[in-house]
Amino acid sequence: MDIKKLQTLVVDALEDVKGQEIALFDTTGLTSLFDRIAVVSGTSNRQTKALAASVRDKVKAAGGDVIGLEGEDTGEWVLVDLGDMIVHIMQPAIRQYYRLEEIWGEKPVKLGAAKRKSSAEGLVAEAPKAKSKHLAAHQDQPEVKPIRERKPAAKKVAATATTTAAKKPAAKIPTGAKVKVAISKTATASAAAAKAAKAGAPKRAKAAPAAEAAAPAKKVIRRVKKAEE
């Protein structure tokens, strides 16, 4: 029997009896004895036995071979040997103690890939989940188109600058012409003050002699000794 069909039968048989924490691993690179290993938990001795019986019956009904069945007496750990695949049905405490996942769990196989696509469960698993339209993230958002701004071409900008410069010709000054430069207000005020100072200087010079004439002249008296008689 094809290994993919065999693993599909095993997973379906375990799910029919409500097996817990089903794990499937690819062991082709670890050993040459078998290609797949399945690990599943049963809550009681009765459930572990029922899981083993479900796997055995379903594989035989599909024409597969069941090489051996071990551990049915205690029900704590039931092993089903299918040749290319080994199924370990364990109670939670036994599974946690031996930790087979750490030994064989290098390449886990997804359970969705192990299911038959034609089955009802496979169709439900692969069908896209409906999204709630109440959430803004699930609503269809309109496509946003980027806004492109038009930029003037470089040639047009250069032509516009050249035209503007041509309309305003620079003022030309003929050679040898005299150019009048306006005198600043500070220079004008300084010239006026100097002119006023020159105008007042002669009046002061003329007033000085008049003052000297008005003043009384000083007389000098010399004493002369009389000659002795």
Q: What contacts 80, CB < 8 A, 6 or more positions away?
A: 52, 55, 56, 66, 68, 69, 86, 87, 89
Element (H, E) at 97: helix 92-98
Write down the pLDDT at residue 147: 66
Amino acid letter, 33? L
Q: Which residue from 1, 5, 24, 25 is spatially nearest to 118, judged by alpha carbons?
A: 5
Residue 130 to residues 111, 122, 124, 139: CA-CA distances in angstroms? Answer: 21, 17, 12, 12
Write down the pLDDT at residue 210: 46
- Domain residues of the chain, as ranges? 3-109
Burial class (CB in 10 A: 0-12, 13-18, 19+), 81: middle
Fold of the domain spanning 3-109: Beta Polymerase; domain 2 (3.30.460)
Backbone angles phi, psi at 226, to 5 degrees: -75, 150
Q: Which two three-digit tokens encode residue 130?
A: 């409906």
Please report, in tens digits, the pLDDT of each residue of the chain (229 residues total): 889 999 999 999 999 999 999 999 999 989 999 999 999 999 999 999 999 999 999 999 999 999 999 998 989 999 999 999 999 999 999 999 999 999 998 899 987 755 544 345 454 544 555 555 555 555 666 666 666 666 555 555 555 655 555 555 555 555 555 555 556 667 677 777 777 776 665 544 444 444 444 455 555 555 555 555 4
Residue 14, number of CB atoms within 10 A of its CB: 25
Adjacent-strand bridge partners of 69? 80
* Pair type for strands 36-41 and 68-70: unpaired
Distant-in-sequence contacts of 73-78, Cβ < 8 A, 24+ apart: 74/45, 75/42, 75/44, 75/45, 75/46, 75/48, 75/49, 76/45, 76/48, 77/48, 78/48, 78/49, 78/51, 78/52
Q: Which two three-digit tokens encode residue 105?
A: 């769990």
How many residues in the chain? Answer: 229
Write down the pLDDT at residue 138: 55
Write down the pLDDT at residue 180: 57
Cα(53)–Cα(59) distance, integer angstroms: 10
Residue 75, number of CB atoms within 10 A of its CB: 18
**DSSP alpha helix (H) spans, 17-78:** 45-61
Amino acid letter, 219? K
